[in-house]
């Protein structure tokens, strides 16, 4: 098996930096400058040796993508094309994966996503890859009630992790399980693509290609988002077979998974909690809010398998005149020695983020909300993939 990097004869710093990143994981990478060389000689060589060749094709100009997709739709025996661009439309992506001989990764996702594609489409092992006996670290964001900012805190946390140089290269997924009122994609200004009803009706149909169609990619951060289009009028009855199918796909693609749970608990909520390494309980710092948080923690501890770590994230906290957090003593009385992260209130920054679709952490790292979330992100990013056991299944 050989992997080629297509340059089109172009010399640019962006292309050179991308090639260097890929070569760091694929040291035998070979460059070529003409696509007819790749579609002819390379394909014939692969077919003759009964091996598959991979052509990595950067697409730096958006107008070039349609022409490249047309090339992928042609028959090239023994050749699998991997396209890299900043973004891709849903229609172009569907055209690619339907060929069965091409796929796409984001600029931020290279080289790890390239290795993932090669590992699932080739029986050949190529260098240091993912240990198949390892599952991702899983974090559940558990709201103590409606409207506590659970989705916002999950989003800001994952953005802070992507900004951390130590976490660079981690494959992160944000899974929104609020099937009726999902709004994670609204906050990120991306299209929700997860069609959970299709999985519920036929879990065995979920394969790698279909899963990729259901993923929304946040271009700026490189985070993959699994979220359903909002539909309050249709009740989606999520079942364990569908959850197992989704988690099977997730387990081989990501190092870290953040799950945004809905306020209402369902039959499957305990099963999700039981596979988590950390639960982040979100709520407000007032007496009713603290009571609900304490009750939620008790529910978590009664689950079939309680998460090893539970952290409370108190959102929209008031500040005292001296700059400290108001009513800390109330928190101590209500929650005892529970680990608590305080997120200060900044309505103007939050509203600007919601209206622009850009998380606060990406617009102003010095903002007080971003600074406070950083403490939560450090706890989450400290989790590492663990040895696979029957816990990975949602059963």
More confident residue, 78 or 46: 78
Is the per-residue pLDDT at 22 higher than 70?
yes
pLDDT for res 225: 97
pLDDT of residue 393: 52
pLDDT at 63 over 70: no
Q: How much is the mean pLDDT over the chain?
A: 84
Residues 6+ apart with CB under 8 A from 76: 38, 39, 43, 101
> What digits encode the pLDDT tens for the residues 197-212?
999 999 988 988 899 9
Asked whether residue 27 carries a pLDDT value surpassing 50, the answer given is yes
Interval 251-297: pLDDT, tens = 888 999 999 999 999 989 998 998 999 999 999 999 999 999 999 99
pLDDT reported for residue 134: 67
Q: How do residues 89-112 score in pLDDT, each as one tens digit?
A: 777 777 777 777 888 888 887 888
Contact criterion met (CB below 8 Å) for 126 and 118: yes
pLDDT of residue 38: 45
> Which helix or strand (DSSP H or E) is residue 160 part of?
helix 150-163
Phi (first) and psi of residue 363, to 5 degrees: -95, -35
Spatial CA neighbour of 175 closest among 243, 94, 113: 243
Report the candidate in 232, 240, 248 with the shortest Cα–Cα distance to residue 182.
Answer: 232
- Give Cα separations from 94 to 76, 123, 203, 212, 272 (angstroms): 19, 24, 20, 9, 30
Report CA Rg, the chain: 22
Q: What are phi and psi of 109, to 5 degrees?
A: -80, -15
- pLDDT, one tens digit per residue, over 318-351 is 988 777 899 999 999 999 999 999 999 999 999 9
Q: How many CB atoms lie within 10 A of CB 207?
A: 11
Q: Looking at residue 103, what is its pLDDT?
A: 85
Does the structure show a pLDDT above 80 at 132?
no
Contact between residue 216 and residue 191 where contact means Cβ atoms under 8 Å apart: yes
The pLDDT assigned to 65 comes to 64
- What residues pair up with 3 in beta bridges, in sequence order? 54
Render pLDDT for 181-235 as a digit per residue (tens, 0 to 9): 899 999 999 999 999 999 999 998 898 889 999 999 998 898 999 999 987 666 6
Q: Are 72 and 94 in contact (CB under 8 A)?
A: no
For residue 137, count other CB atoms closer than 10 A to its CB: 22
What is the CB neighbour count within 10 angstroms for residue 353? 24
């Amino acid at each position: 098996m050989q992997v080629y990097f297509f340059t089109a004869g172009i010399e640019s710093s962006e292309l050179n930096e991308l090639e260097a990143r890929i070569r760091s994981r694929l040291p035998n990478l070979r460059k070529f400058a003409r696509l007819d060389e790749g579609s002819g000689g390379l394909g014939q060589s692969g077919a003759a040796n009964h091996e598959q060749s991979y052509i990595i094709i950067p697409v730096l100009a958006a107008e070039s993508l349609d022409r490249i997709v047309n090339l992928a739709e042609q028959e090239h025996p023994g050749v699998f094309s991997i396209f890299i661009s900043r973004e891709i439309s849903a229609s172009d992506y569907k055209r690619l994966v339907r060929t069965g001989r091409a796929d796409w990764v984001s600029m931020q996702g290279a080289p790890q996503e390239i290795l993932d594609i090669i590992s699932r489409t080739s029986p050949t092992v190529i260098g240091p890859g993912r240990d198949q006996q390892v599952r991702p670290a899983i974090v559940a964001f558990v709201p103590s009630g409606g409207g506590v900012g659970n989705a916002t805190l999950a989003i800001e946390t994952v953005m802070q992790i992507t900004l951390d140089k130590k976490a660079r290269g981690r494959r992160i997924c944000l899974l929104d399980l609020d099937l009726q009122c999902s709004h994670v994609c609204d906050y990120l200004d991306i299209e929700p693509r997860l069609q959970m009803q299709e999985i519920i009706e036929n879990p065995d149909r979920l394969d790698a290609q279909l899963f990729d169609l259901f993923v929304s990619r946040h271009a700026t951060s490189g985070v993959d988002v699994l979220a359903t289009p909002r539909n309050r009028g249709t009740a989606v009855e999520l079942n364990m077979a569908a959850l197992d199918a989704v988690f099977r796909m997730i387990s081989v693609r990501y190092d870290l998974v953040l799950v945004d749970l809905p306020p209402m608990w369902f039959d499957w909520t305990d099963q999700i909690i039981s596979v988590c390494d950390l639960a982040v309980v979100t709520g407000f710092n007032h007496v009713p809010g603290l009571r609900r948080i304490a009750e939620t923690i008790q529910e978590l501890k009664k689950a079939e398998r309680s998460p090893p770590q539970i952290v409370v994230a108190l959102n929209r906290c008031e500040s005292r005149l001296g700059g400290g957090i108001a009513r800390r003593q109330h928190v101590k009385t209500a929650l005892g020695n529970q680990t608590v992260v305080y997120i200060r209130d900044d309505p103007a920054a939050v509203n600007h983020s919601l209206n622009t679709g850009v998380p606060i952490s990406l617009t102003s790292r010095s903002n007080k909300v971003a600074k406070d979330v950083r403490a939560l992100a450090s706890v989450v990013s400290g989790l590492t993939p663990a040895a696979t056991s029957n816990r990975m299944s949602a059963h």
